[in-house]
């Protein structure tokens, strides 16, 4: 499998701060260049385009030669750093200028990612939204975010594992090694699938469900912005509320795939999702049987509802085991064989 050509466009007020360390780790793993936008000569957007001789156009041409673009910035006042904002503004040149328009259209279909740091558990929705709305406008596909909570600074032992997992995702489902090298990091080729079911206390459009329905999109978006999120089940409505399993008209499913147990657990128990989870009795009937099941799936596999329900039935019938488990009983992924060395993260990124 060929590795997608990838470029990292980075901007921070300090090259070797938190965001610099995080993107260097990702880039080291991918064997790609980090372009420091702040060090390039790129002036602010000019309606008269009197700045066409600066570094922007050649840099954009380099980005256009790639399949994947990573935009790396700290969160500064809920927004991207200034040089990143200028870069995004200048993309307008490729929409305004007739001789650049054809190149501008080449952005369509490219994968775009965000790498960011802040001092909160999750990246600000406004910050992510600015990128995602821009990607959508340009016809690029948003591939996800790697966010590091740096309230204690950049802590390699915490953040590098996530950076390595993120880089591996960008390398493609095959998880090929860059430059033919084994970097000594043995990451799992399995991802964590999750299903939970619940019996609602009334139709989705009834008053009793109103608050749940009103929060659903926000909570789903929060999941998508969370580090380690891979996929979620949804119909064309953007959620899974139209799917009613077990022939029960009142039963809802929620299903997703995550990089590992830690990332799902962080989202479930350590994000704004908690406030919604605490209110579940307002909207869902009490269930005496297990309503949540986790299981490992090969990287890239997207489980169907039947497969997921079979796992839940298995858990209900047999209790937790390698086939179906809960947070508390989660085993290591199937390729974490006994004797596999633990990921050893010292002070440096293992990829560099």
Ligand X SMILES: Cc1cc2nc3c(=O)[nH]c(=O)nc-3n(C[C@H](O)[C@H](O)[C@H](O)COP(=O)(O)O)c2cc1C
CA nearest to 290, candidates 196, 193, 192, 200: 196
Q: Report the C-alpha gap between 336 and 289 in whole angstroms.
A: 30
Bridge partners of residue 112, in order along the sequence: 69, 142
Q: Which stretch binds ligand X (CB under 6 A): 7-15, 128-136, 317-325, 335-343?
A: 7-15
Q: Is 118 in the site for ligand X (CB under 6 A)?
A: yes
Size of site (CB under 6 A) for ligand X = 18
Q: How is residue 284 annotated by DSSP?
A: B
Cα end-to-end span (Å), the chain: 23
Q: Which two tokens stand for residue 203?
A: 């139709």
Q: Quick check: 200 and 252 in contact, CB under 8 A? A: yes
Rg (CA), the chain: 22
Q: Report the C-alpha gap between 221 and 258 in whole angstroms.
A: 14
Which of residues 20 and 28 has its CB atom nearest to ligand X in the complex? 20
Q: Which of residues 13-32 bind ligand X (CB under 6 A)?
A: 13-14, 17-20
Which of residues 75 and 294 has its CB atom nearest to ligand X in the complex? 75
Which of residues 17 and 245 has its CB atom nearest to ligand X in the complex? 17
Which of residues 183 and 271 has its CB atom nearest to ligand X in the complex? 271
Which of residues 38 and 333 has its CB atom nearest to ligand X in the complex? 38
Per-residue interface string for the shown chain with ligand X, residues 248-287, x marking contact by CB under 6 A: ----------------------------------------
46, 120, 282, 285: which one binds ligand X (CB under 6 A): 120
Q: Is 11 in the site for ligand X (CB under 6 A)?
A: no
In which residue are the tokens 């350590």 written?
Answer: 270
Closest separation in Å from C-beta 136 to ligand X: 23
CA nearest to 343, candidates 162, 161, 182: 161
Q: Is 152 in the site for ligand X (CB under 6 A)?
A: no
CA distances from 1 to 56, 71, 94, 178, 213 (A): 32, 24, 32, 11, 42
**What are the strands, taking DSSP E only, across the chain?**
6-10, 34-36, 68-74, 111-118, 141-149, 190-199, 229-232, 251-258, 292-298
Q: Which stretch binds ligand X (CB under 6 A): 76-84, 163-171, 228-236, 274-282?
A: 76-84
Which of residues 47 and 77 has its CB atom nearest to ligand X in the complex? 77
Residue 225 sits at the vertex; the CA angle it makes with 212 and 312, to the nearest 5 degrees, is: 60
58, 77, 98, 182: which one binds ligand X (CB under 6 A): 77
Q: Which stretch binds ligand X (CB under 6 A): 74-82, 97-105, 259-267, 299-307?
A: 74-82
Question: What does the binding site for ligand X look like in residue numbers (CB under 6 A)?
Answer: 12-14, 17-20, 74-78, 117-120, 124, 150
């Amino acid at each position: 499998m060929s590795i997608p050509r990838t470029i990292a466009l980075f901007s921070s007020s300090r090259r070797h701060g938190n965001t610099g360390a995080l993107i260097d780790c990702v880039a080291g793993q991918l064997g790609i260049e980090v372009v420091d936008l702040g060090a390039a000569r790129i002036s602010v957007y000019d309606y008269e385009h009197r700045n066409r001789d600066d570094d922007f156009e050649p840099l954009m041409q380099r980005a256009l030669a790639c399949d994947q673009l990573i935009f790396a910035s700290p969160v500064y006042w809920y927004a991207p750093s200034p040089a990143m904002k200028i870069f995004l503004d200048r993309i307008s040149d490729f929409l305004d200028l007739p001789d650049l328009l054809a190149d501008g259209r080449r952005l369509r279909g490219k994968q775009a990612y965000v790498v960011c740091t802040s001092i909160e558990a999750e990246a600000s929705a406004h910050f992510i939204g600015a990128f995602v709305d821009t990607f959508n406008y340009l016809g690029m596909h948003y591939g996800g975010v790697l966010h590091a909570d740096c309230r204690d600074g950049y802590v390699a032992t915490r953040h590098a594992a996530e950076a390595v997992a993120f880089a591996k995702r960008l390398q493609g489902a095959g998880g090929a090694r860059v430059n033919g090298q084994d970097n000594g990091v043995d990451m799992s080729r399995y991802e964590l699938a999750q299903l939970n079911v619940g019996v609602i206390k009334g139709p989705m459009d009834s008053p009793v469900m109103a608050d749940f329905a009103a929060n659903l999109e926000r909570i789903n978006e929060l999941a998508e912005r969370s580090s380690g999120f891979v996929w979620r089940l949804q119909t064309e409505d953007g959620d899974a509320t139209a799917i009613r399993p077990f022939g029960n008209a009142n039963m809802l499913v929620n299903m997703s795939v995550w990089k590992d147990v830690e990332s799902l657990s962080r989202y479930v128990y350590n994000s704004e999702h908690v406030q919604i989870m605490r209110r579940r009795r307002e909207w869902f009937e009490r269930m005496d049987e297990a309503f949540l099941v986790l299981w490992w799936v090969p990287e890239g596999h997207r489980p169907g509802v039947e497969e997921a329900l079979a796992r839940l039935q298995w858990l209900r019938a047999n209790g937790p085991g390698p086939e179906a488990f809960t947070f508390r009983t989660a085993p290591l992924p199937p390729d974490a064989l006994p004797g596999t060395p633990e990921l050893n993260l010292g002070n440096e990124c293992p990829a560099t």
